[in-house]
Amino acid sequence: MQSIDLEAKLPPHRRRLQRIMQWSCYSAVAITAVLMLLFFTTLGYRGIGAFTQTKIDVEVTSIKSSVKRTINEAMYGLVESPDRATKKGLRQLVTPNAYSTLDIKEPGTYTLVAHTDVDMYVKGVYDKLTDSQRAITDQLIADGKIYKTWNWDFWTNSDSRSPEIAGIWGAAVGTFYTIGLAILFAFPIGVGCATYMEEFPKRQSKGWRRYNDFMEININNLAAVPSIVYGLLGLALLINFFGMPRSASLVGAMTLGILILPVIVISARTSLRTVPQSIRDASNGLGASRLQTTVYQVLPAAMPGIITGTIIGIARAIGESAPLLMIGMVAFILVPPTGIMDPATTLPVQIFLWADSPERGFAEKTSAAIFVLLMVLVMLNLLAIWLRKRFEIKW
Amino acid sequence: MVEETQTLTLDRSAKVNIRNLNIWYGDSHAIIDCNLQIRKNNVTALIGPSGCGKSTLLRSINRMNDFIDGCKTKGSIDIDGTDIYRTTHTNVNNLRKSVGMVFQKPNPFPKSIYDNIAYGPQLHRMHESKEHLDSIVEESLKRANLWKEVRDRLHDNAFGLSGGQQQRLCIARTIAVDPQIILLDEPCSALDPISTNAIEELVLDLKKNYTIVVVTHNMQQAKRISDTTAYFHLGEIVEVGSTKKIFENPNHRKTRSYVSGEFG
């Protein structure tokens, strides 16, 4: 009788092969991790500036005929008896948007948003200030009148020509409308389509089966179509043919809805297929019609998987910009949209717009907006994982 | 090969009358010229080697074969004088309500014990009120000898029950829609001996109210619980008779060798 040698080693060539496989896996994981880390650090490093904003505290002593004059007068008060050139320099330290956005009626202390050049100087990005401006700024920093603070404007403002007051709120609202509507379009249609294809294809005729195969191939191919093609579809069909307004979140939602439809159909079909046949048998055996079985037993059992797949689809749609460029959602949006027919833009398009801007102040906004978008995506994916773990049925 | 004396005399008191039944799966002939009478309040056991068509015949009694692609049925099955293969579509659901089925593997719904039982009555709007539904659930569980074990956890997930309890739950679920016939497709093949015993006792108990047809691989089980036994071989009924006769003094050589364990 032969004994089993548990200590036996693999032959050398297999050991070598095993070691090579092992190390290639390790290094693949390591490379991925390093790249991800690099990516996030760069984003964080570049974008962190956008979360703070340089502000100037000024003392308003007298109200002039216009806000602009009042602010200018208050700025002159920061330096003792400024000459003409210094005054010009002082006027340029504050953002020109303050004239139109602020409403100063009473004397008192006001906080003004600094001009992007000052902001960039304080953050040490670049120095475009004149010698006298720089001297004044340094002095004011020392006095605590110019300081960096948490940038609420980045969250609550919409896009602007001036980087110092540009924010993501408008794009966030646009994203909310667009994605919300896209779900409303795509989820019922996608789940209905998947249910039909999985639960009701049992007709006997050959033509019917061929039609089903044809649809299946189509849907699988749709998932691989480049997203800009969907934009072209939206442009040609929705805007040109149906005459819907350009830039509206409704059109964006329908386009993105078509985009995520195949993702939802495929994931829903997969999770419908994981529902065991025995459940259908049990329900049918009790005298339920096929529709009742589907609605009361199969769909609820498949729902965790369907919702997870839908969230993955949504995550894809949120990050999509190309199709939206085609249908004109690349608009310059100063006020958040108030309805689904208003011109709107979304976060990725906003990032695209900022990345395209010549002003250097937008560079950090771009990184910060990417960071925000990534955080939203990560949270969606975590939600998907949590839902799967929480509601998954182990058969 | 069919035992003529038994199949050709038309038993008027029979609950189910299967006549000249032929079933094909695609090209393979699964049931060949089957004639069988199933008596009311009897346990009829279908025995035979694997792949001989026992389950196919069982599934044809409540038309579960309709769901299988390429399954073709010829002949007639009369239940109380109505040919179930000549009804329209809506009636098939009513048929499955009156002819309940319990499967080989326990297949509770991924819901609470209560919801598992309540599902059928809710489908057919059999209850007048919430209290009535509660009483149907309780009654069904009692009839399935499960009430005592689950009364305190009616709203727990049914997957938490043991295999035998799950199978009794499936029987209770079938009882809940008030069927006349219960088809059991190897109900104990996935269970341990103690659970099997519980199911067998339950079947003997249920006989008083229902007509039961059971497919089994276990000949001892057929001997213990059935009144009538039909022996199948390669899609044909070789012999039908009282269980006692089939096991002690079968007419046919094949039956004798099967029940004595020579093959199968």
- Indicate the domain borders of chain B: 4-109+165-171+178-259
Beta carbons of B124 and B153 less than 8 angstroms apart: no
**Segment among A23-37, A227-241, A345-359, B71-85 with least mean pLDDT:** B71-85
Handedness of CA A35, A36, A37, A42 (dihedral sign): positive
Give residue B118's pLDDT band: very low, low, confident or very high (50, 70, 90).
very high
Hey, is the C-beta of A325 within 8 angstroms of any chain B C-beta? no
- Asked whether the beta carbons of B144 and B171 are under 8 A apart, the reply is yes
Span A169-391: which CATH code?
A: 1.10.3720.10
Say yes or no for a CB contact (<8 Å) between B173 and A393.
no
Tell how far CA A363 is from the center of its chain: 17
Question: What is the structure's pLDDT at B13?
Answer: 64
What is the pLDDT, as a whole number, of residue A299? 94
Q: Contacts of residue A296 in chain B, CB cutoff 8 Å?
A: 119, 123
As a CATH number, domain B4-109+165-171+178-259 is 3.40.50.300
Q: Mean pLDDT across chain A, nearest whole number?
A: 90
The answer, for A271 touching chain B at a CB cutoff of 8 Å, is no
Element (H, E) at B148: helix B147-150
Give the residue among B21, B35, B28 at the shortest CA–CA distance from B239.
Answer: B35
pLDDT of A349 over the 60 cut: yes
* Side chain identity at residue A253, one-letter code: A
pLDDT at A105 over 60: yes
Nearest CA in chain A to B96: A287
Res A337 pLDDT > 60: yes
Convert the pLDDT of each residue in B1-24 to its tens digit.
344 444 334 455 678 999 999 999
> What integer is the mean pLDDT of A163-185?
93
Residues of chain A with pLDDT > 90: what percent? 56
Ranking A206-220, A287-301, B171-185, B231-245 by mean pLDDT, the lowest is A206-220
Looking at residue A393, its pLDDT comes to 82
Of B246, B94, B254, B248, whose CA–CA distance to B177 is shortest?
B94
B94 touches chain A (CB under 8 A): yes
**CB-defined contacts A:B, below 8 A:** 66
Check B105 against A204: CB less than 8 A apart: no
Q: Which of A286, A299, A395 to mutate to test the interface with B (most CBs of B within 10 A)?
A: A286
pLDDT recorded at residue A355: 92
Mean pLDDT of A71-77: 88
pLDDT of residue A62: 84
Q: What is the pLDDT of residue B7?
A: 39
Please report which confidence band the pLDDT of residue A175 belongs to, taking 50, 70 and 90 as the band edges. very high
Contact A284 B64 (CB under 8 A): yes
Whether residue B64 lies within 8 A of chain A, CB to CB, comes out as yes
Q: Which residue has the tokens 């004044």?
A: A136
Q: Which of A202, A282, A296 sits opposite B69 (nearest CB)?
A: A202
Task: Determine the Cα–Cα distance for residues A139 and A145; give it in Å rounded to an integer.
Answer: 9
Residue of B nearest to A293 (CA): B123
**A291 part of contact set with chain B, CB < 8 Å:** no
Q: What is the pLDDT of residues B82-114, one digit of tens each?
A: 888 887 666 888 899 999 999 999 999 999 999
**Contact check, Cβ <8 Å, A286/B159:** no
Residues of chain A positioned with their CB less than 8 A from the CB of B109: 279, 282-283, 297, 301
Q: What does the pLDDT read at residue A238?
A: 92
* Chain B contact present for A283, CB below 8 A: yes
CB contact B108 to A (< 8 Å): yes
Residue B4 pLDDT: 40
pLDDT, residue A347, reads 94
Please tell me which of the candidates B95, B110, B123 has its beta carbon nearest to residue A292: B123
User: Exposed, middle or buried by CB within 10 Å (0-12, 13-18, 19+), for B157?
Assistant: middle
Calculate how close chain B gets to A280, using CA atoms only, in Å: 9
Residue of A265, A269, A263, A250 whose CA lies nearest to A184: A250
Residues ≥6 apart with Cβ < 8 Å to A248: A340, A341, A342, A343, A344
Give the model's confidence band at A29: pLDDT under 50 very low, under 70 low, under 90 confident, else very high: very high
Q: Band the pLDDT of A240: cuts 50, 70, 90.
A: very high
**Hey, what amino acid is at B174?**
T
Averaged pLDDT for residues A273-289: 92
pLDDT at B264: 61
Once rounded to an integer, what is the mean pLDDT over residues B43-64? 90
Query: Where in chain A are the domains?
Result: 49-150, 169-391
Q: Is A293 on the interface with B (CB under 8 A)?
A: no
pLDDT at A1: 60
Least confident of A103-107, A199-203, B250-254: A199-203
Interface contact flag, A289 B93, Cβ < 8 Å: yes
* Residue B11 pLDDT: 52
What was the pLDDT predicted at A231? 93
Residue among B95, B109, B177 minimizing CB distance to A297: B109
Please indicate if any CB of chain A lies within 8 Å of the CB of B88. no
Of B189, B201, B119, nearest to B158 (Cα)? B119
CA–CA distance, A388 with A211 (Å, rounded to integer): 33
pLDDT at A191: 96
pLDDT score, position A202: 61
- What pLDDT sits at residue A183? 95
